[in-house]
């Protein structure tokens, strides 16, 4: 078990917590992290590019000129891809770029990302993080006291005021443990876990 200090929003030690090595002390394999991040980013691609084929272009009902005797190349339709204003051959169509990665591999990748942040010393455990009102200034003050310029905050309850307070500050993101993913963990330098979510994260990763 790895032992980590628990701090409050004033950056004072208030206790310790043991983290499950199966989740927070895994060997980090770059190729697995790369595969899962690539999958996440591919799933977000819109894939909305669309071109018209020769049958979708307006016109083309009449043969432009007779088959023989004009001295010009044969032509059957003015919607041909070789004509200006004609259809596009093998052009893009709306599609999904997503691809499958096995659930166990995704779980391993989350554990590896968590382990990487712990091994780097960039994982912080807070005893609680409640904001009674929406106040960006208060949020910035807490982050400055914790010496965090870029961080991902994971908590399950009382996130509404916190999310609203942080949304105009660049470099921070607040999410629940259900939304925890490899890309966001690696995108932010610091990972801040509010103590109650740790049990949920361990259950999810080991499920």
Whether residues 72 and 126 share a domain: the answer is: no
Whether residues 73 and 30 share a domain: the answer is: no
Whether residues 109 and 153 share a domain: the answer is: yes
Whether residues 57 and 154 share a domain: the answer is: no
Q: pTM of the full predicted structure?
A: 0.84
Give the CA dihedral 39, 44, 45, 50, nearest 10 degrees.
130
Q: Per residue in 59-100, pLDDT tens?
A: 988 999 999 999 999 999 999 999 999 999 999 999 999 999
Whether residues 70 and 134 share a domain: the answer is: no
Average pLDDT over residues 94-122: 95
> What stretch of H or E contains 151?
strand 151-154
Beta-carbon count within 10 A of 141 CB: 12
pLDDT band at 36 (very low <50, low <70, confident <90, very high): very high
Please name which of 117, 99, 112, 133 lies closest in space to residue 191, comparing C-alpha atoms.
117
Position 131 scores a pLDDT of 86
Please name which of 186, 180, 188, 183 lies closest in space to residue 205, comparing C-alpha atoms.
180
Whether residues 118 and 156 share a domain: the answer is: yes
Please state the domain count of the chain. 2
- Residue 134 sits in a domain of what CATH number? 3.40.1370.10
Pairing of strands 13-19, 2-7: antiparallel
Whether residues 111 and 137 share a domain: the answer is: yes
Position 192 scores a pLDDT of 95
| Cβ-contact 97, 43 below 8 angstroms | yes
Whether residues 23 and 40 share a domain: the answer is: yes
- Which ranges of the chain would DSSP assign to H, the alpha helix? 21-24, 30-44, 103-120, 136-145, 159-166, 182-187, 197-206
Beta-carbon count within 10 A of 197 CB: 21
Domain extent for 26:
2-46+98-206
Whether residues 78 and 102 share a domain: the answer is: no
d(CA 85, CA 82): 9
Whether residues 103 and 192 share a domain: the answer is: yes
Residue 34 scores a pLDDT above 90: yes
Whether residues 67 and 161 share a domain: the answer is: no
Q: Per residue in 116-159, pLDDT tens?
A: 999 999 999 999 888 889 999 999 999 999 999 999 999 887 67
């Amino acid at each position: 078990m790895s032992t980590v200090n628990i701090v409050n929003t004033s950056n004072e030690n208030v206790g310790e917590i043991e983290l499950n090595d199966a989740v927070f002390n895994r060997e980090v394999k770059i190729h697995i992290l790369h595969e899962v991040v690539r999958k996440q980013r591919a799933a977000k691609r819109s894939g909305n590019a669309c071109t018209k084929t020769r049958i979708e272009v307006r016109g083309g009902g009449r043969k432009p000129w007779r088959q023989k005797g004009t001295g010009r190349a044969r032509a059957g339709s003015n919607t041909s891809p070789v004509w200006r204003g004609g259809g596009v051959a093998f052009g893009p169509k709306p599609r999904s770029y997503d691809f499958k990665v096995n659930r166990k591999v995704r779980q391993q990748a989350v554990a590896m990302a968590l382990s990487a942040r712990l091994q780097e010393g960039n994982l912080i455990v807070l005893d609680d993080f409640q904001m009674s009102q929406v106040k960006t200034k208060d949020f910035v003050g807490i982050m400055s006291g914790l010496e965090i310029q870029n961080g991902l905050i994971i908590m399950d309850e009382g996130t509404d005021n916190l999310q609203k307070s942080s949304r105009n500050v660049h470099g921070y993101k607040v999410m629940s443990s259900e939304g925890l993913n490899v890309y966001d963990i690696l995108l932010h330098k610091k990972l801040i876990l509010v103590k109650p979510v740790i049990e949920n994260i361990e259950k999810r990763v080991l499920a």
